[in-house]
Amino acid sequence: MKKIIYLAAFCAFLLTSCNDYLDTVQNKGNDEVLSSSKQVEALFGNSRTFNTPAGLNTAASDDYGMTIELNDMLGYVDENLLNGMTWNVQDVAASQYGDQTWEAEYNKIFTANLVITQIGEIKDLTEANRTEYLAQAHLMRATAMWNLANTYCMPYSRETAGEPGLPLKTSTSYEENVARSTLQQTYDFILADLEEALKTTNTGIADNRRWAVSKPAVEALMARYYLFTQDYEQAAKYASEALKCGDAELVDYNDLPFRPSDVSLEGEVETVNYSSLYRYGDNQVANFKENYLSQYYTVEQVLVPSESLMQLYDQATDLRFRHFFNKYALWEQGIGGYGEDIVYNKFKERIQAGPTVAEMLLTEAEALARSGKWQEAMVLVNKLRVARIDRTAEDIMLEAGSQQEAVEKILEERHREMPFIMRWFDIRRLAFNETSYDDVTVERDFYQVSDNAVNDDVVSHYVLPVKSKRYAQPIVYTEIARSNHQIEQNAYDDNSVVVTSQSLDSGEDGDDGSEEGEEY
């Protein structure tokens, strides 16, 4: 990952920065130099810089509902979806196209390191601006590292603390060692960055710049960090602090309008009842008022919801279902005839990655419930429900008679609120926490997938066991080669993914076992 990646990273940030920066940047071989505040502002001034390609995570959880029937109708499914939904190892590692998620996040880390290491060279900065730029850089690096850790590493726990973590890049040098740290060292690194970001003096969230660093944004990310490291006291504390900020507000979906759109297919016309959020422009999405920090996972593929996801909702009264699960939405892609053609849409091609008011209510609620304060927890989760359930419904409030029931109901509400990618991250962490009743085994039936293609002569049953080694996505070989093999591949075994196959021609069962189980 040395020179090639960081030359690519530097080119990427040049291309996305403003013309003033292009006019003034000094290039001294491997020593890129910042010399003015305009250059730093260019690096941090565009909200899209902070977004992340979703990659395989889109299809990895039990929320993704691609079926054999829909595949037959589509005729083609993107290889990221195929490899994500089957938890592939070999094809992912051997990809000739690189890995957009890995590259995008290390580009952010490069940008952050450029600012952190060069901030002393900039003469036209006030101390106040210097503090904010450093806080922003540390926040950018922390969020990039968190996304990487929750994609390419095992979930954090005492059990996994010694497992491989990430290369800890702290400079822009192409010669810096990029051997993987331990998972504990990776999480310590993320926490240290968040603590540096917390030095920001911005106590409020900027109206038209919600991707910028602020104390509430950092507090919200600290709450997420501690929830995922099973420190529930700290998770509840930071979520509570974030919720004190009035600059982020819960949107009452009872007041959220629809934006219907007529679609047609083969002479038939139907109306898709899109939410107004689906029609939001870039600026509206970036400044959505529930966000403490406006960051998104960008998704190029259609999000097909699973039956199990749709069954979580009271489809008559839950406004999340009525707004975001759209009948006939596939018709806009020229596809029809599959049931009622339901597609999940919220912000169109974006899924929230940054923390929101809803997430903080759920985080504090879960942390309190796991700490034994489950009655208090139900009050918090019901604050969210009031803004998500039709106000005319008879059963808006949730009740629990025990700690376990409270945790289970909070997790269900979290699932309804944050499907797909956050659900995948939750499946991972729940497997390694202190309870087993919330463990999730993910299973699906689909065609055999190999060499990034579907073999429609063989149907396979895929099982991702609890604590699977395939919770960690493979690192592509090209990144390992670029690092001169300093980076080591994740280790997989025969139980990482269990695949049972049956030929449609013969009807005979194939061998049990994992196609993903080779060690590297």
Query: Looking at the DSSP assignment, which residues form a beta bridge with residue 258?
Result: 275
State the Cα–Cα distance between residues 39 and 24, nearest whole angstrom.
Answer: 8
State the Cα–Cα distance between residues 168 and 180, nearest whole angstrom.
Answer: 7
- Contact criterion met (CB below 8 Å) for 449 and 457: no
State the Cα–Cα distance between residues 147 and 440, nearest whole angstrom.
Answer: 21
How, if at all, do strands 296-298 and 52-53 pair?
parallel
This prediction has a pTM of: 0.91
| CB neighbour class for 177 (10 Å; exposed up to 12, middle 13-18, buried from 19) | exposed
Sequence-ordered list of residues with C-beta below 8 angstroms from that of 1, at least 6 positions apart, any chain:
106, 167, 178, 479, 482, 483, 486, 487
Rg from Cα positions in the chain: 23
Q: Please tell me whether residue 383 adopts helix, strand or coil conformation.
A: helix
Sequence-ordered list of residues with C-beta below 8 angstroms from that of 341, at least 6 positions apart, any chain:
327, 328, 329, 330, 331, 335
| CA dihedral angle for residue 451, residue 452, residue 454, residue 457, rounded to 10 degrees | 10
pLDDT in tens, the chain (520 residues): 443 344 344 444 433 433 333 233 333 334 557 889 999 999 999 999 999 999 999 999 999 999 999 898 888 889 999 999 999 999 999 998 899 999 999 999 999 999 999 999 898 999 999 999 999 999 999 999 999 999 999 999 999 999 999 999 999 998 999 999 999 999 999 999 999 999 999 999 998 999 999 999 999 999 999 999 999 999 999 999 999 999 999 999 999 999 999 999 888 899 999 999 999 999 999 999 999 999 999 998 889 999 999 999 999 999 999 999 999 988 887 777 666 779 999 998 999 999 999 999 999 999 999 999 999 999 999 999 999 999 999 999 999 999 999 999 999 999 999 999 999 999 999 999 999 999 999 999 999 999 999 999 999 999 999 999 999 999 999 999 999 999 999 999 999 999 999 998 754 444 444 443 333 2
Tokens of 244: 């004190």
